[in-house]
Chain A
Amino acid sequence: MSWDYLFIQVMNGLVVGVIYAMIAIGVTLIFSILKIVNFAHGDLYMLGGYCAYFIIKLLGFPPVLAMVAAMAVLFVLAIILERLLLTPLYSDATERKDEYGLIVTFGLAFFLRNAAIIAFGPFPLKPPSFVEGITEFGDLRVTNDRIFAAGVGILLILALLYFMHRTLWGQALDAVSQSRDSAAIVGINPRRFNSLAFGVGAALAAAAGALIAPIFSLAPDMGVLANINAYVIVILGGMGSVVGSALGGIFIGEAESLFTAFFPDPTRAFAYTNAFGVLVLMLVLIYRPTGLFGRRHLRME
């Protein structure tokens, strides 16, 4: 094994991990506030990618502006969806809220996926690059799109962390996540923050979709695998922990890359990459049942 080879694989794992983290953070944010697992999150990520693509193609926006516009569109769309579909979760008249949340987000996922096939067509689409070209560090070749995606991803995650911990609205979100009733007593309207959490989570997913599109192409079913990865990461990092999801994403990205790179049987390593991510999750859960940064009061619905 050469150190160069190790360095290359670690760098690739880091880039992929940041992208994973961006999707997972949206899931964990929504879970911490609304107390539901949003099974349609991967499909919001898909919609964000397509939205940016069509903004570029139809309106001629540069890719970065198209990404910002897609975030804004998905933010608004998510709030509309939350108002239309999730309000029964906040009503005392709804007896089985957990089951309702599960079924309605599953239904939304199927609807969005199949509507995307009709609206956007079945063929993969690829928008123009954010930054054309490839950067070489010795033997390591990384596309500028990957570096850009990882860089913007880290910035967005840091911005979200700043928002959550340093702003009044962010602290109000945290308060709602800890106790909806206590937050209401001190004058925070939990319903408004439900919408905000769903919108921010969707906007982050839209950014991830737009950033991923020049790397993996857009396809109506691209959210399925992203969803599965996001749940693994969210549980690994700890339900409801934004920091946990960020670090969990990078951890899974690195684990998959290094497993593929160093597993002794080269014929099987790649096929079992995803299984290895789940194996890591199982080991972590044995020693830390709440995940790496999980809070005890947040339970899996």
Chain B
Amino acid sequence: MRIKGRWHAAAGFALLVGGFVILPAQFTQAYAQDTIRIGWVGPLSPPGGYAEGALMKQAAELAADEINAKGGLLGKKIEMFYEDTRGQPEEGTAAAERLVSQDHVVAITGEFHSSVFLAEMEVVHKAGIPIIAVDVWANKITAKGYPEVFRVAPCQALIASKYGEWIAAAGFKNVAVLWEKTDGGQSAKDVLLPILDQHHVKHDEVGADPNSTEFTAEIERLKSHNPPYDFFMTEFSEAGAYPLITQSYQQGFAPSAHTGIANSGGPAVDETFWENVKDAGKYVVTENVGLPKNAWNEITKSFNAAFKKKYTKEPSPQAVENYDAMLVLADAIKRAKSTDGKAIIAALEKTKMLAGRGEYSFSTAHEPDWAYHQFMGAPVGLIQYDKTGQSPDDAPIVWPRNISDVKYTYNKPAK
């Protein structure tokens, strides 16, 4: 009896261990078979850029709903897992780890902060899961050469270089550059300043805490500089961009007849831009990372209409980017006929599809280093508002000249 009892105990123990080891695996497989799990990362609460994050998440939701309404992927519905990264790299790492090890997602899209994405991509690189960067611009994201990392947004080499070329073409000679101390701001400055040097444009740079909202002392300092600055380039993506533009205008610095102003980073194309800056926004130059309105295709039009219908507001360029990232990912999974990471990555490399921001494909070249898995055709147009309250899609495109819809390069304020 004692021996039998031992056998029972051993068998029970084996069953218990087996249960712990096998059952979760079976459950995981069962989950994996039910739906295709896709992760989303981005800021949804402070101190991150939660306003932009919310729009990106809504666009991802819209894309997921549309894909599911058309029957899903590989015969299954897709299931989204959203993670709030709060603009904090450590939160990004934790979020990516949860998505990979707990939610067992097959791919991830999203993110608005370069510094956070740089933390997240380390996790997915180890796990071998593809990730599509949505609105992160630091060059080093794709320059690291990780096979899992793809980017639909333009990188700073594509954006800041356009600003540099435009500043020279518009005839500015002495530029003050105020950049936020983040990976994105640093990357923008590192690209812009050498281009200004190439064109013999003088410049001074000022670093700023990304949480700043009070700029008056600094603007007075810039305003009293001798020789005077004729252009004020602000690389500022946080909510402080609104007080920055407003205070610069109210103190008579820029935009003015003496000094032009640009804001790079995204806030100047958000829906609440005009409510916050009012007349200070007229003559501001900013980038639009979506297609110009005259080049909108059927997908751009249907996305804009669907977004407005569902959320009763205008989508931002970041929203279109996230919508497209979802379509690109869905297309790759379809072509891969698998949810295996390597198969999806291989399919993403062969992407050739039309979405809301044009014809997508990813470079596989390593020269220049940031080109690897970068959407090289990512649209970037510099717009300059010429009316208070103007929509970014209606603002004149001043650069590059091949897509510009006005004769001038820079519309100088009368006073």
A residues near B, CB below 8 A? Answer: 2, 5, 8-9, 12-13, 16, 113-114, 117, 121-126, 134, 141, 143, 215-217, 219-222, 224-225, 256-258, 260-261, 266-271, 273-274
B272:A124 contact, CB within 8 angstroms:
yes
Report whether A123 and B206 are in contact in the complex, using a CB–CB cutoff of 8 Å.
no
The size class of the interface chain B forms with chain A is 35 or more
Task: Select the residue from B212, B220, B251 with max chain A CB neighbours within 10 A.
Answer: B220
B207, A123: Cβ atoms under 8 Å? no
In the assembled complex, which residues on chain B have CB atoms less than 8 Å from the CB atom of A122?
44, 50-51, 53-54
List chain A residues, Cβ under 8 A from B44: 117, 122
Chain A residue with the shortest CB-CB distance to B215: A270
Separation of A270 and B178 alpha carbons in the complex (Å) = 10
Question: Among the listed B46, B220, B239, which residue makes an inter-chain contact with A8, where contact means beta carbons less than 8 Å apart?
Answer: B220
Question: How far, in whole Å, are A274 and B181 apart by their CA atoms in the complex?
Answer: 14
Q: Are B214 and A113 interface neighbours, CB within 8 A?
A: no
Partner of A5 from B45, B208, B212, B220 at Cβ < 8 Å = B220
With beta carbons under 8 angstroms apart, the residue of B209, B220, B251 that contacts A271 is B209
Does chain A have a CB within 8 A of B216?
Answer: yes
Q: How far is the CA of A225 from the CA of B124 in the complex (A)?
A: 33
Asked whether, in the complex, the Cβ of B211 is within 8 Å of the Cβ of A225, the reply is: yes
Which partner residue on chain A sits nearest B250 by CB separation? A143
Q: From residue B284, how far is it (CB to closest CB) to chain A in Å?
A: 16
Q: Does B66 make an interface contact (CB < 8 A)?
A: no
Binding site for A on B (CB under 8 A): 44-47, 50-51, 53-54, 178, 181, 204-209, 211-218, 220-221, 224, 239, 242-243, 250-252, 270-272, 275-276, 278
A112 nearest CB across to chain B (Å):
12
Residues of A within 8 A of B46 (CB): 113, 117, 219-221, 224
Shortest beta-carbon distance from A221 to chain B in Å? 3
- In the complex, the answer to whether B47 meets A224 with C-beta atoms within 8 Å is yes
CA distance A44 to B240 in the complex (A): 20
B217 touches A13 (CB 8 A): yes
B21 to nearest A CB, angstroms? 39
Q: Which chain A residue lies CB-closest to B51?
A: A122
Cα–Cα distance between A225 and B112 once the two chains are bound (Å): 22
Known contacts: A221-B47, A271-B209, A274-B209. The answer to whether A123 contacts B217 by CB under 8 A is: no
A267 to B176, CA, bound (A): 10
On chain A, the residues within 8 Å of B239 by CB distance are 124, 217, 219, 221
How far apart are A254's CB and chain B's nearest CB, in angstroms?
10
Task: Report the 7 A-B pairs with minimum CB-CB distance, sorted nearest first.
Answer: A221-B46, A260-B217, A122-B51, A123-B272, A271-B207, A257-B217, A270-B218
Contacts of A117 in B (CB 8 A): 44-46, 50
Q: Contacts of A9 on B, CB cut-off 8 Å? A: 217, 220
- Asked if B45 contacts A216 (CB within 8 A), the reply is no
Bound together, the chains give a CA A257 to CA B214 distance in angstroms of: 10
A141 pairs with B51, CB closer than 8 A: no
Report if A215-B206 is in contact (Cβ < 8 Å); known contacts: A122-B54, A224-B46, A260-B218. no
Q: Is the CB of A124 within 8 A of B276?
A: yes
Closest to B48 in A: A221
How far is A266 from B204 in the complex, measured between Cα atoms in Å? 9
Query: Are B211 and A125 within 8 A (Cβ)?
Result: no
Measured between beta carbons, the chain A residues less than 8 angstroms from B212 are 270, 273
Partner of B208, one of A2, A225, A270: A270
Assuming A122-B54, A266-B204, is B220 touching A261 (CB within 8 A)? yes
Q: Whole-angstrom distance between the alpha carbons of A220 and B224 in the complex?
A: 34
A13 to B259, CA, bound (A): 25
Q: Which residue of A lies closest to B177 (CB)?
A: A267
Q: Is the beta-carbon distance between B243 and A271 smaller than 8 angstroms?
A: no
Contact B209 A269 (CB under 8 A): no
Residues of B within 8 A of A271 (CB): 181, 206-209
Residues of B within 8 Å of A225, CB to CB, are 211, 213
Q: A residues within 8 A CB of B215?
A: 270
Say yes or no: A269-B218 contact (C-beta < 8 A), given A117-B50, A143-B250: yes
Known interface pairs A114-B45, A270-B207; 16 further A-B residue pairs with C-beta atoms within 8 A, sorted by A's residue number: A5-B220, A12-B216, A117-B46, A122-B51, A215-B243, A216-B213, A219-B46, A219-B239, A221-B47, A222-B213, A224-B47, A260-B218, A267-B207, A269-B218, A271-B207, A274-B209
Closest to B47 in A: A221
A130 to B251, CA, bound (A): 18
A257 surroundings in chain B (CB, below 8 A): 216-217
A16 to B218, CA, bound (A): 13
* Minimal Cβ-Cβ distance residue in A for B243: A216
Question: Please, how many angstroms separate the alpha-carbon atoms of A268 and B242 in the complex?
Answer: 22
Q: A256-B217, A266-B221, A270-B218 are in contact. Are A124 and B205 (CB under 8 A)?
A: no
CA distance A101 to B206 in the complex (A): 40
Q: Which residue of B lies closest to A15 (CB)?
A: B216
Report the separation of the CA atoms of residues A11 and B80 in the bound assembly, to the nearest whole angstrom.
Answer: 53
Distance of A188 Cα from B207 Cα, bound (Å):
53
Q: State whether B250 touches A134 (Cβ < 8 A).
A: yes
Can you list 25 pairs linking A and B with CB atoms under 8 Å apart? A2-B224, A5-B220, A9-B217, A12-B220, A13-B217, A113-B46, A117-B46, A122-B50, A122-B54, A124-B239, A124-B242, A141-B250, A143-B250, A217-B243, A217-B276, A221-B46, A221-B47, A224-B211, A257-B217, A260-B218, A261-B220, A266-B206, A269-B218, A271-B207, A273-B217
